[in-house]
Amino acid sequence: MSDSGEHELSQLAEVRGLDVPSSHRARLGPVITLAKRGVGQALGPLAHVLLAPQVRFNTALAALLSEPGHRWAGSGWARLTPLADPTDWRASEAVLLHGLSPLLQAQHRWNLEVLRWLADAGTAWPPREALGGERLRALEAGCDVLAAVEGPRWLRASRPLWREMLRRQIAFNHACVRGLRRLMGESRPELRMPSAEAYEAWWREREPADIARAAAAVASLSRRPVISLITPTYETPAKVLRACIESVRAQSYPHWELCLVDDGSRDPEVRRIAEAYARAEPRIRFEPLVRNGGIAQASNAALALATGDYVGFLDHDDELAPHALAEVALHLEAHPDTDVLYSDEDKIDLEGRRFNPYFKPDFSPDLLRSVNYFCHFLVVRASLVREVGGVHTGFEGAQDHDLILRLVERTARVAHLPRVLYHWRAMPGSTSLDSSAKPAASDAGRRAVLEHLRRLGEPAHVETQAPGVYRVRPLLREPPRVSILLLSEEADEETETEARELLARTDWPLLEVVLCAGAVADGEPRLRRIAPAREPGLTVAANHLARAARGEVLVFLQPGYRPLEPRWLEELASQALRPDIGVVGARLVDGSGRLQGGGLWLGAEGQRVAPFAGLPDPSLTALGGSHWTRNVLAVDGACLTVRREVFERVGGFDERLPMVGADVAFCLRVTREGPRGLQTPYARLMWCGLPRVDGAGRSSPAVARDPFHNPNLSLDSAGGVALARTERSS
């Protein structure tokens, strides 16, 4: 379990209490709620006795699941078997409570099923795929132990009362299943954003100075390009349309025009508002369309109105920060060849409260294929937008993603402004609140990514992993030979066992596992033992293993990590064989379902931070999702994949350094030559508790600036998800 999961389970284990929610009924709701709470209070002593055996089971289960999985795999679950019967009351209590025992029959079955799951997991840790899917769905379906109460009629008729008594127990059951899903990599992402209060305090401390600085700097610009804002409207609520337009009028940079095109709204108020603003403000241009033709058509109509050097895309219900256009103009003054710019963003509700910031990396091509992370605020050279054909129809809901992919095919002059310049309106039915609100948009995005890859001549399958999130599977003409190199100076019995486990858990035709060992080879041809290196040191051993390996692809793997899916190696190898990729990192989790990382952020003082480390797997944070493919400067040497020719070209690992440090130095030599580093979430390995490599916690080579780290996030916090506290440079 994650830290939060451990805390959640330990808090939920004590289920002898009542949490009666307020009734949803309008008139009688308060009366019904009061009556339920009164009856519940009267039944408190009964609940205390009735649920005492189940509390003992819950407490033991929570304690067991809070330990790393390799500790409870095996016989750990057996300690709970004597506690599994929730009707194991004392003799005197059993006489009084016998009539209520049918209430707990389903809970008894659920307890036993959890223990069976743990027993099966214990046969070979980490848990295999067979324990997910249908097994977890069945366990989850049984969490509501009152769904079908058996027993006499009076007991069934009083089910609403017993539901209040067992509400906490049902919540505990669901929390357990969520933890098991995390172990299996099947859970929904947990939202781990800064609190609205913390974020407000953060931006209120920083933004006034940013706004004042940008406004003052505008006067000294030698170039003042006109920025045309493209804003299609359709059935826009009057309040938010006015807020959108007023946010443009409030810009400290005056050289803009707002191109409004109404896409056949039925509400005449939309047109009246737009026309009134256009009459009062000469920089606002408005054109109504006779009938609704879709956002792509309306966007192109607005583009036809634009006369500016650059175009920015502003949705009709969103808002720009007052210094948004000034920041764009200031960047263009310093970097006039820039073709595409995008900024950080946050959400804003109907009352104007800001929350859930998104702090993005600089241009990350693989992240862009995984999710449209550019999103807002997007500004593009107008001639380039027209050159690529404007906004294409047929991709409605993901038309901006399709446009961005076509743009970056034509230019590499892409800039990221790491400031929150755009406020995305959160309204019911909007993808800003729920990316699954418009399922057709996800399919359009998948097709946009697929066509992008086809235009580039990169054969691949594209799958929708979650709403708006895509997995790119590169296609291999033929499987390469892959060598897994176990990073140990000399193998012991545990390492030998692990090597065999790797072979058993990996579905790959041309595979060898290479390790340093003095023993002679046995009957397993894919397990190759070589004599240890003459000099000590893990980096020496790594280079020694690489020289002996026969594979086209090398996977350096720290003993203690075991794959959770048979096709993990296919993902690593297929990504590493891409000519534009230099090194590949895997998705590393610990034995309790927390993320350890895989990719790394690097700092000017030698920091190495694994993004998302310590969070539940997966998590959605201010730096995006841990389940998104993304580019990095370096990956963790605990699982590092590279083509042999790349490894040899840069000279392997620096043997003067410990592996923690040498891995980063190696990656930097690779990525500075041009190929990108890649962190893939689709090769998932679990730490099973063997001793770690030497040098853990030591610093790594410093970099002046990591383009994949956002300066609004701290490099001094675990996981890199905390808001930066120090003042950044302007």
Decide if 272 is inside a domain.
Answer: yes
One domain, residues 266 and 351:
yes
Nearest to 305 by CA among 275, 277, 283: 283
Residue 343's pLDDT is what? 98
The pLDDT confidence band at residue 359, using thresholds 50, 70 and 90, is very high
Could you tell me if 297 and 389 lie in one domain?
yes
In-domain check, residue 465: no
Taking Cα atoms as reference points, which of 699, 698, 726, 700 lies closest to residue 711? 726
Q: Are residues 510 and 648 located together in one domain of the fold?
A: yes
Query: Which two structure tokens, joined as six digits, stand for 555?
Result: 């996977």
Can you give the residue range of the structural domain that contains 550? Answer: 482-690+699-720
CA-derived radius of gyration, the chain:
29
Is 449 contained in some domain? Answer: no
Q: What is the pLDDT of residue 3?
A: 43
User: Are 95 and 141 within one domain?
Assistant: yes
Q: Which of 97-111, 268-282, 514-528, 667-681 is the least confident region?
A: 514-528
CB 465 within 8 A of CB 435: no
For residue range 434-477, list pLDDT tens digits in order. 555 567 899 999 999 999 999 999 999 999 999 999 999 999 98
Q: Over 90: is that where the pLDDT of 595 sits? A: yes
Q: Give one DSSP letter per residue of 353-417, joined into a string.
A: -EEEEE---S--HHHHHHS----SSEEEEHHHHHHTTSSPTT-TTSHHHHHHHHHHHH---EEEE
What pLDDT is recorded for position 587? 96
Closest among 423, 426, 427, 200 to 320, alpha carbons compared: 423
Q: Is residue 336 included in any domain, yes or no? A: yes
pTM for the model: 0.91
pLDDT band at 114 (very low <50, low <70, confident <90, very high): very high
Of 418, 434, 450, the residue that ends a domain is 434
The overall average pLDDT reported for the chain is 90
Q: How far is 76 from 529, CA to CA, in rounded Å?
A: 34
Residue 520 has pLDDT above 60, yes or no: no
How confident is the model at residue 119, as a pLDDT?
87
pLDDT at 222 over 80: yes
Which residues in 537-657 belong to E strands, given as ranges?
553-557, 561-563, 581-589, 595-597, 599-602, 608-609, 619-621, 624-625, 630-632, 634-635, 639-643
pLDDT band at 165 (very low <50, low <70, confident <90, very high): confident
Among 188-192, 365-369, 642-646, 687-691, name the one with the lowest average pLDDT: 687-691
Least confident of 107-111, 568-572, 719-723: 719-723
In this structure, the number of other CB atoms found within 10 A of the CB of residue 718 comes to 13
The stretch 255-284 carries a mean pLDDT of 97
Query: Are residues 391 and 499 located together in one domain of the fold?
Result: no
Which tens digits make up the pLDDT trace of 387-420? Answer: 999 999 999 999 999 999 999 999 999 999 999 9
Look at residues 417, 434, 451 and tell me which one is the last residue of a structural domain.
434
Please report, rounded to a whole number, the percentage of residues in the chain having pLDDT higher than 70: 91
Residue 161 lies inside a defined structural domain of this protein: yes
* 406, 547: one domain: no
Q: Give the model's pLDDT for residue 40.
A: 57
Binned at pLDDT 50, 70 and 90, residue 4 comes out as: very low
Sign of CA dihedral 274, 280, 281, 285: positive
Q: What is the pLDDT of residues 209-219, one digit of tens each?
A: 999 999 999 99
Is 598 inside a domain boundary?
yes
Say which residue, 108 or 69, is predicted with more confidence.
108
Give pLDDT, residue 691: 46
Residue 625 lies in a domain: yes
Provide DSSP, 356-371. EEE---S--HHHHHHS
Residues 18 and 128 both lie in one domain = yes
Question: What pLDDT does residue 129 have?
Answer: 84
Q: Is the pLDDT reported for residue 303 higher than 80?
A: yes
> Is 631 contained in some domain?
yes
Residues 202, 178 share a domain: no
Lowest mean pLDDT among 281-295, 514-528, 640-654, 698-712: 514-528
Cβ proximity of 364 and 373 under 8 Å = yes
3-state helix, strand, coil in the chain (%, to 5): 40, 20, 40
Measured CA to CA in angstroms, residue 572 lies from 164, 283, 364, 569, 674 at distances of 49, 52, 18, 5, 19
The predicted pLDDT at position 522 comes to 62
Same domain, 130 and 48: yes
Is 70 exceeded by the pLDDT of residue 287? yes
Query: Of all helices (H) and strands (E), which one includes residue 684?
Result: strand 676-687
Q: By the 8 A CB rule, do 676 and 554 touch?
A: no
pLDDT given at position 73:
64
The answer to whether 713 and 721 are in contact (CB under 8 A) is yes
- Looking at residue 19, its pLDDT comes to 63
Quote the CA–CA distance of 300 and 259 in Å, as a whole number.
11
Whether 149 and 276 map to the same domain: the answer is no
176 and 234 share one domain = no
- pLDDT per residue over 318-354, tens digit each? 999 999 999 999 999 999 999 999 999 999 999 999 9
Give which of 264, 263, 261 is closest to 275, Cα–Cα. Answer: 261
Tell me, yes or no, whether 404 and 346 share the same domain: yes
Tens of pLDDT, residue by residue over 682-727, are: 999 999 865 444 333 466 888 999 999 999 999 887 788 889 975 5
Report residue 453: phi and psi, to 5°: -65, -35
pLDDT band at 503 (very low <50, low <70, confident <90, very high): very high
Read off the pLDDT of residues 50-82 as tens digits, 9 standing for 90 and up.
999 999 999 999 988 887 776 676 667 788 999
Q: What does DSSP say about strands 581-589 and 676-687: parallel, antiparallel, or unpaired?
A: parallel
CATH number of the structural domain spanning residue 643: 3.90.550.10
Region 234-263 average pLDDT: 97
pLDDT of residue 164: 82
Number of domains in the chain: 3
What is d(CA 573, CA 476) in angstroms, rounded to the nearest whole number? 9
